[in-house]
Amino acid sequence: MNPPAIAIDGPAASGKSTVAKLIAKELGFTFINTGAMYRAVTWYVLQQGIDPANTEAVKAILPGIPLSFGKNGAVSTVMCNGRVLAEELTLQSTNDNVSTIAAIPEVRALLVEKQREYNTAEPVVMEGRDIGTVVFPNTPYKYFVTASEEVRAARRAAQGLTDSIAERDRKDSARACAPLTMAEDAKLVDTSDMSIEQVVAHIAADIRSRMA
Ligand code: DC
């Protein structure tokens, strides 16, 4: 049996990344940002001059893709040829194309395998879109973190990022393979009127009470 896995899913800019990172810190678990993994593949595909809509060309480079998925302390990192990727992951071109790349089943299969590997030796808090539905369908700890579209757009703007979150959510929800959807047994957390501290306290208390 693997160590515990906490699944935190939700739409873009729902605050799930910040929340997941803080919950991981509080519990002493490793934080895994799976969006960064899809973003890294997207950045690499664009770097190679490949059109993300050309599914066959994307699939062809996957076996030799020089990305590796590790950790810095208790936080996941993505490396390309040994260099940690950072600003590459939030480039406008990455934002604009990540949903196209994330809809390719072979990309998802590759990354889901890497995501599960993180949990073989240690407890994790993993955030994404399909963690409760596909990556860890058997975990009892599933949270679907959301907020109204206006609140989410304001949060992105406050980060100084221009990101068409509504368009990404539409594509992420409509794709055939592992769409953004709430697992039947997930707990819904609407953060529109909650502070980050309140959300973290609420979820951490729920996990603790159920682990006790
Ligand atoms: O969490 P994020 O906004 O950084 O994610 C970027 C994109 O990656 C998102 O629009 C959809 C995709 N994604 C996914 O399909 N599945 C995941 N588990 C995480 C992200």
Q: Is the CB of 130 under 6 A from ligand 1?
A: yes
Q: Is the CB of 52 under 6 A from ligand 1?
A: no
Structure tokens at 4: 């515990």
Residue 50 DSSP symbol: -
Distance 98 CA to ligand 1 centre (A): 7
Distance 69 CA to ligand 1 centre (A): 16
Structure tokens at 137: 């369908």
Label residue 3 left, alpha or beta by phi (over 0 means left) and psi (-120 to 50 means alpha).
beta
- Distance in angstroms between the alpha carbons of the first and the last residue of the chain: 18
Structure tokens at 6: 């906490």
Q: Is the CB of 32 under 6 A from ligand 1?
A: no
**Tell me, what's the pLDDT at 161?**
67
**C-alpha angle 47/174/93, rounded to 5°?**
20
Q: How many CA atoms lie within 13 A of 38 on its CB side?
A: 26
Query: In the predicted model, what is the mean pLDDT of residues 168-173?
Result: 90
CB proximity list for 16: less than 8 A, separation 6 or greater: 8, 9, 10, 127, 145
Whether 79 contacts 68, CB under 8 Å? yes
Distance 212 CA to ligand 1 centre (A): 32
Q: Is the CB of 102 under 6 A from ligand 1?
A: yes
- pTM, to two decimals: 0.95
Distance 129 CA to ligand 1 centre (A): 6
Each residue's pLDDT tens digit, 130-153:
999 999 999 999 999 999 988 888
Task: With a cut of 70, say whether residue 162 has pLDDT above it.
Answer: no
Q: Are strands 83-84 and 75-80 parallel, antiparallel or unpaired?
A: antiparallel
